A = this chain, B = another copy of it.
């Protein structure tokens, strides 16, 4: 899949994929301005991003929504630990396209952060934080990141906490916006039925107004834990949610493909991984179990997730650790390796079959500085992985003596 790439004068990195299947253009603009850049103000990144679209230039929040609606366009914002961004889907007919792009450009480059909308957005985020704290899965995930990353910038909930959100001031949002929403810190992805010439023009219209500024400061990645750590969160439920893991890898890790294939075998493949067959099928210890790497900009987590009965929670945990140890020592069998490759190669085309999914995939390539031929070489890279490479990659990157375990459920 050909991805075209150029930079604007203000240093915005632009990526373009021409797709003629639909008369639409999908746009994603992402900044290196996720919660990792919050500094001491938990939630600052998230609230700043959530206010994009809530007032711009002389246009109210309602009018912005109406402007998109009138031309059938869809606008969303999103933010996580690494990224803060926004997406636009619009028709390519100039009757609609021009108005949609103009509104988008105004919204992202001239936000006004009105106090009234800020109050509302803060209330919504506080409600979401509360809801996360009451859902065992999100509660467990937030606690896992906290225990795993300790004082590191990935430790805290990207949504912040009740007190930090309440105390955020408009002026802080404006400062954060000015610092991070700049060309040098921006990646713009365009996917749709436009020509390269149009893409060049549209990219400038969308992102050309940002000052070039500086890219986000480099942060100090998290260290491995010195030893294993176990945390239990009391929660009234008939089952336990368990997360086991450690600080993992970045996307630039040289063992990336060996670890991806290895993880598929160990816990990633739906209904055929080692974890699935041993923990769920054979022993019935868990309702659900899987594992995954989340390779962020800095070292993201390797994480095993289980839903277990309360009565078998500790047996399940012990079994998982034992299986992981065995996998690290012995690696996969030839049959396991071939099965995983077949599955990964078989599902790969599906993951790039729509504009939506291509947009997300190219955004990852852009943000994480992956090679532009990543998709073209993906199948060869997966196919090339050997049993020995998987074993060595797991031995190098995973240490069963330094695992964080978070259990959300009734304490024993």
Contacts and interface: CB of A to CB of B under 8 A. Distances in A.
A23 B356 contact: no
B93 A354 contact: no
A24 B73 CA distance: 11
Contacts of A23: 72, 91, 93
A356 B68 CA distance: 12
Contacts of A96: 22
A21 interface: yes
A384 interface: no
Given A93-B23, A96-B22, A353 B134 contact: no
Interface string A158-183: 00000000000000000000000000
A343 interface: no
A260 to B, nearest CB: 21
A354 B69 contact: yes
Interface string A85-99: 000000101001000
B356 A69 contact: yes
Interface in A124-143: 127, 130-131, 134-135
Interface string A199-230: 00000000000000000000000000000000
Interface of A: 21-24, 66, 69-72, 91, 93, 96, 127, 130-131, 134-135, 350, 353-356
**Nearest 4 interchain pairs by C-beta:** A134-B134, A22-B72, A69-B354, A24-B72
